[in-house]
Amino acid sequence: MVSQSEQIQDPAAALLTLRILWAAMLGGVVTFGVVVAFLFTKGGYRGTSSSPDLERIFLAIGFGALVIAVPIGYFIRNQSYKRHWQGQAVTPGGYVTGNLILLAMCEGVAFFSLVATLAVGAFGWVTAPGVLAAAGMLVNFPTGRPMMSTTNRYEAPPPR
């Protein structure tokens, strides 16, 4: 049985698919952030609890998730690249799989942070892990470079 990631053979199609998914995932986080901001400014929403202990707990969980989930996402992406390495490049299926896992890890942290912001009732330090995770998604825009054949730029040129 062929896995879903091995069905993607065309690098251009893989890159287009991944860019659409990247935009949808980042757009979802931004849209939810705008909804939260609208609730606070226009809706008069005050949160479910004003306990400082709850804010500290959410802050610890948010930064803990950021510090754990994002590096694990990078590790899994690299393992996917390693598993799907052929010749001098990563296969399109491995590229899509690895990047989707990394983006999902960042998105999970961002959404948790926004939900915690809703529970606390105000933007603040609780929102910071989500902003950093969304920035991580933004920085990891799919370029397709790992699917391109590479050469070792530090290797000596062949003799003439």
155 assigned to some structural domain: no
What digits encode the pLDDT tens for the residues 49-89? 667 788 899 999 999 999 999 999 999 999 999 998 888 88
111 assigned to some structural domain: yes
pLDDT band at 8 (very low <50, low <70, confident <90, very high): confident
- What total number of domains does the chain contain? 1
Non-local (6+) Cβ contacts of 122 within 8 A are: 40, 47
5 assigned to some structural domain: no
pLDDT at 21 over 90: yes
As a whole number of angstroms, the distance between CA 27 and CA 21 comes to 10
159 assigned to some structural domain: no
43 assigned to some structural domain: no
Q: Which domain holds residue 108?
A: 10-32+49-144
41 assigned to some structural domain: no
The reply to whether the predicted model has a pTM over 0.85 is no
Beta carbons of 41 and 114 less than 8 angstroms apart: no
What digits encode the pLDDT tens for the residues 92-118? 999 999 999 999 999 999 999 999 998
14 assigned to some structural domain: yes
39 assigned to some structural domain: no
pLDDT at 4 over 70: no
As a whole number of angstroms, the distance between CA 89 and CA 101 comes to 19
